[in-house]
Amino acid sequence: MTKTAGEPIIICNAVNKWFGEFHVLRDVSVNIAQREVVVVIGPSGSGKSTFIRCINRLEEHQEGDIIVDGIPLGNDIRNIAAIRREIGMVFQQFNLFPHLTVMQNISLAPMQVRRVPRAQAEKKALELLERVGIPEQAKKYPGQLSGGQQQRVAIARALAMEPKIMLFDEPTSALDPEMIKEVLDVMKELALSGIVTHEMGFAREVADRHSCFSSQGRIVEEGDPQTFFDLDVDHHERTKAFLSQIL
């Protein structure tokens, strides 16, 4: 791993999770360094989303350790709150607040959670909207925007909390590849770490590393983007089967 630098900001050690009888995550161990962007790929149902939702405790893991920026994730609500403050998340369905304007969507959490003064929160929101290319939409409601615009607002909303880490759960459904490259560039610029899940080999140039989940919820292979997508390299059988379908 050539690009990884500094201490790991996310440490996952032998994480296991069950949904009832179903074993979703099996012994998942990954370290993610500061400023590193990892794309997690794998077939649907392989546990990619569950994995990143465990990192900010939208799902509970049952075994193993998750440590984010030195804070162990467990049942302590103060730790959960502290970790959520460091992590921004962008959802597949955007999950914008439909009763609030774009501006309010972005500035609400900084004002309510971080206690940022209104003027400052709104200035920041406008800057972020400019960055994602839709400053003219600030006064509209999410229902008045296209899917792509909504996803941009969702990204601005997550960035407004000034997170150290960004999680993207299947962002492509409404996001064109160009846009995600822009976002990942922004993350590089802000020195953020990130995890992106995706069903396809995607945005390979911008990612530092790819991990492939097997259908059993286990990480079968990791690699840098150059070799990961090269079919001539000696891959794990499961990765090979998956890559041959998407390339």
Partner 1 sequence: MNSIGSGSVLGILRDERFIKAALQLAFTALIIIAAISLARSVDSSLREKNLAPNFEFWSTRAGFSIGGAEAYYSPDESYWRAYVVGVENTIRVVILGLPLATIVGIFFGVCLLSTNFLVKTIARVYVEILRNTPLLVQLFACYFILVLALPAIRFAIEVPQGNPLLALSNRGLVLPAFYATDRFMPFAVIAIVGLVMAYVVQRELGQISERTGKPTPRLWIALGIVVAAAVIGWGVATAAPAPETAAVTNGSETVEMPVSEAMAQNLLTNEQLREVARAPFFMEQPRRQGLRYVAGVNYSGEYIALLLGLVVYTSAFIAEIVRAGIQAVDKGQVEAARALGFGYGKTLRLIILPQALRVIIPPMGNQYLNLAKNSSLAIAISYADLFQVSNTIINQSGQTVSVFVVIMATYLSMSLLISYVMNTVNSRFQLVTRSPQKGGGLFAIFAPHGAIGSLVRRLAPQRGGS
Cβ of residue 158: shortest distance to partner 1, in angstroms?
A: 8
Instruction: Write out 123-167 in H/E/C secondary structure.
Output: HHHHHHHHHCCCHHHCCCCHHHCCHHHHHHHHHHHHHHCCCCEEE
Nearer to partner 1, 40 or 161 (CB): 161
Closest CA to 30 of 218, 191, 187, 161: 218
Residues in a beta bridge with 108: none
Q: Which of residues 34-73 bind partner 1 (CB under 8 A)?
A: 56-58
Nearer to partner 1, 114 or 181 (CB): 114
CA 67 to chain centre: 16
What the block records as the tokens of 220 is 């079968």
Nearer to partner 1, 24 or 90 (CB): 90
CA 52 to chain centre: 7
Q: Which of residues 70-109 bind partner 1 (CB under 8 A)?
A: 81, 84-85, 87-89, 91, 93, 95-99, 108-109
Q: Which of residues 121-160 bind partner 1 (CB under 8 A)?
A: 140-141, 143-145, 157-158
Interhelix angle 102-112/118-131, nearest 10 degrees:
130
Cβ of residue 244: shortest distance to partner 1, in angstroms?
A: 34
Counting residues that bind partner 1 (by CB under 8 A) gives: 36
Residues forming contacts to partner 1 in the complex (CB under 8 A) are: 56-58, 81, 84-85, 87-89, 91, 93, 95-99, 108-109, 111-120, 140-141, 143-145, 157-158, 161
